[in-house]
A = this chain, B = another copy of it.
Amino acid sequence: MKKINIGLLGFGTVGTGVARILLEERDLLRARAGVDLNLKYVADIDLTTDRGVALPAGVLIDDAQRVIHDPEVDIVLEMIGGKGIAKDMMLAAIRKGKHVVTANKALLASHGNEIVREASENGVNLAFEASTGGCMPVIKTLRESLVGNRISGMIGILNGTCNYILTKISDEGCPFAEALAEAQTKGYAEADPTLDVEGLDTAHKLAILNSLAYGMEINLNDIYVEGIPRITPMDIEFASEFGYRIKLLAISKDKGEAIEARIHPTMIPFDNLLSNVNGTVNAITFSCSAADDILLYGRGAGMMPTASAVVADIVDLARNMLSCAGVRVPMLSCQMENIKDIPIMPVEDIKTHYYFRFAALDRPGVLSKIAGILGNHQISIKSVHQKGRKTDGAVPIVMLTHRAVEKSVSQALSKITALDVVADKPILIRIEDDDREE
């Protein structure tokens, strides 16, 4: 039986999970893949910490270069993370003709086009199922299962930290800071949670998925990103009264000439399955020309779920190697020469439904002033709710709008903020509800 040698760079959380599956399930993988997957090296600067995985003697080394330069190594796993050394190692491995597997979404979102081009020119694969959605087969589904479909849009919960925090605020009515602290205690959030809670991690993933769904280059910079730290229990409670839950969503839509792509807290109706995806779990819906809506749901992070996706990539590459298939499935879903330059629409141009909450002083005429400004900006109000709950001496006025243009909304809200009867910056939360009338 043919043996395929694997070199793992980075013996951290995901690397440990991958090593565990490769060692503990070696027989199972052999029975399924028809090839022996041999973990030849694990390279890490830390040779002493016990990760709970018994590596055979000689496998753990501290010299990543040895992995890259060993001609026997067929597949290199980049599990280092970050954009510095990880990128250098990846490019070096590619230039040595090795296939590379990575889970590094930040690197791919920023430098993916360059790395894919390099891989393509060297006739090797860059596999990255684990970069997005953890164990959910989002990459394979887009690239292979939906190959006969035009993707008109996707909407997903792609960050378990944010989803855990929003679920907790929602269930317990606690403030953001408390929910975040609990997420940190439980290991669901990093000590510095910025990348997660401000939405950038979700944007990394959407940038990758956009490329695969729409046949475009990876474009992170033009995605609109807004995080969850300003979400309050009060807004979650109001949302619930209107039949919505608030989730941090990655949303993209094919608008023909341009792609709409944005990350922000979003109200979605109870009967949307995504609204019932709670805790650290991820889920995504693809809207497709033939298949209609497909939803995937699963653990988007964590040692073993991420390792599951890495191993799927390894077996895919091993199967290619067995049949000398080279780059069998184009890395960005289209043949390199067919990748299009599709721009992402400026967020000012999007059109959606909005929820506003104003902290208004309880004086006559306030509502008419606010409504007047909205009307002047062609923002049509669907309903107004004045709940009488005083916050800081002001009364919350909540409005739901019909579909409006983001640019008009920004302008109107600036003017409303400047009113002397409005105590605070208004809260704006976008609503994603296909069933709502215009």
Contacts and interface: CB of A to CB of B under 8 A. Distances in A.
Contact of A308 (B149, B276, B330, B334): B149
B145 A312 contact: yes
A contacts with B: majority SS: mixed
A426 interface: no
B148 A21 contact: yes
A112 interface: no
Contacts of A136: 294
A328 B330 contact: no
A423 B324 CA distance: 70
Interface in A312-345: 312, 314-316, 319-320, 322-326, 328-330, 333-335, 338
Interface string A19-38: 00100010011011110000
A137 B135 contact: no
Interface stretch (A62-70, A241-249, A285-293, A401-409): A285-293
Contact of A273 (B134, B273, B328): B273
A146 B137 CA distance: 9
Interface stretch (A71-79, A178-186, A295-303): A295-303
Nearest to A295: B297
Given A290-B304, A290-B307, A295-B296, A144 B312 contact: yes
Contacts of A33: 147
22 contacts: A21-B290, A28-B148, A29-B147, A29-B148, A31-B334, A134-B291, A147-B311, A148-B308, A148-B311, A148-B312, A149-B308, A290-B305, A291-B298, A292-B298, A292-B304, A293-B297, A295-B295, A295-B298, A297-B297, A323-B324, A323-B325, A324-B324
